[in-house]
Structure formats: structure tokens, C-alpha cells
Chain A
Amino acid sequence: AQSVAQPEDQVNVAEGNPLTVKCTYSVSGNPYLFWYVQYPNRGLQFLLKYITGDNLVKGSYGFEAEFNKSQTSFHLKKPSALVSDSALYFCAVRGVYNFNKFYFGSGTKLNVKP
């Protein structure tokens, strides 16, 4: 079975500090991993994905994520947080046997304080 876990409901960070939003996955086979961001009352926006290749993936708005196979993790990171980064972040893994099915984590609310 495929699943992702986001262990933190909420992450608080001061503006200008680095941020990390954690995600671990469980999948048989090679994982296709994604990060999305959701602003209040809006749909999800794609940030980045890992399919294959370099473990460090760079995405939109200065975000990056590091794929770690041994730790089965795909943590989202940003060197310097902005107040405008405050939003809900979802990690997702694509189904191995059903390519159409994406499994989303429970979401992590990021609060960046000035």
C-alpha cells in the first residue's frame, strides 16, 4: 500500500529563518513524490516533484525538497522563510499500480511570523 505521513500538524518559524516541513512515505517500488501548497479557500498549487535523478529537487518560490531513500523521507525546505509562505502544505505520492491515484498526507500548516 502507498501512503505518506506528515508528522507535524503545524510548523512555526520566524521570517528569514530556514524552514523544514517533514514528509515520510511508504511505497513498494520507486516512489513518485510531490509537494503542493494550499492557500485559504483555494485549490492546491504544485511546488515540486521527485521522479528520478538528483535527490535534491528545486521547485517554485524558492522551495526545495530532498529525497532520502534510506530514511524514506521527502522533506520540504526553504533557506529563508517569508511571511507569504504561510499556508497549508501537502506531501503526496503517486500510486504504483494505479498511476491516477495520488495519496496525500494530512497536511502541515506553516506559520511564518514577522
Chain B
Amino acid sequence: GAVVSQHPSRVICKSGTSVKIECRSLDFQATTMFWYRQFPKKSLMLMATSNEGSKATYEQGVEKDKFLINHASLTLSTLTVTSAHPEDSSFYICSARGAERAANTGELFFGEGSRLTVL
């Protein structure tokens, strides 16, 4: 299957700082990427849909200014948690579906996730 790489896998930062998480599609071009947040013992919550070359589409309740998403190329999307606070601590997972794949039937490919801890 396709490979989606996410970096860093773990990050610890001080409250008030910003953290950037990268999501790369390694062997295919991803016109659309998705960012999820997973709380402990909970399901995945879709935060936003990242579209190459255009603005991200955020889900209801997700702060656009807090979670900045940039999808500048067909293989890279970044999520920046700005002015992070302890309540932002979570497991963030990106996923992608390539342009070549059947848009209607293709499954999502997930990165390995990034564990953010804000002190």
C-alpha cells in the first residue's frame, strides 16, 4: 500500500510555543490530505481537510487560527499548532488519498501519528 510519513513522532513543548507537524506522501501524489486528532481511548476526530494549493476546510468547532494547515505541494501537508497549551496535548494523525486512486472507492492511508505533549 501507499506510504504516508509523519514527523515528528513525538514532540514535547512548553506552553505558548508553536509546533509544526509534517505529513508526506512518499510514493504517490496526494491532492487531498486529512488531519485527525485522537484523544485517549477515543475515536478519531476529523479536524480538517487539506487541499493542495487551496485553503483547508475545517470541521465545525476546530479553531482555524489555532491549527494552521498548509498543503503547498502534492506530497506535503503541515499542521502547525500555534501557541500550544496543555489541552492541545493529543495524538495527531494525518492521512491521504492519491489523485491516481479511484476517488470513490479508495481507502485512506495513514501516517504513524505524532504525540504532542504541551507542558
Chain A residues within 8 Å of B, Cβ to Cβ: 32, 34, 36, 41-46, 49, 51, 90, 99-102, 104-107
Contact = CB atoms under 8 A, between A and B. Distances in A.
A43 B93 contact: yes
Interface residues of B, number: 27
Contacts of B4: 43
A44 B110 contact: yes
Interface string B95-114: 10100000111011111110
10 contacts: A36-B110, A43-B93, A45-B110, A46-B110, A99-B103, A99-B104, A102-B46, A104-B44, A106-B43, A107-B43
A88 to B, nearest CB: 9
Nearest to B2: A46
Identify the 3 closest CB pairs spanning chains A and B, nearest first.
A43-B110, A44-B110, A43-B112
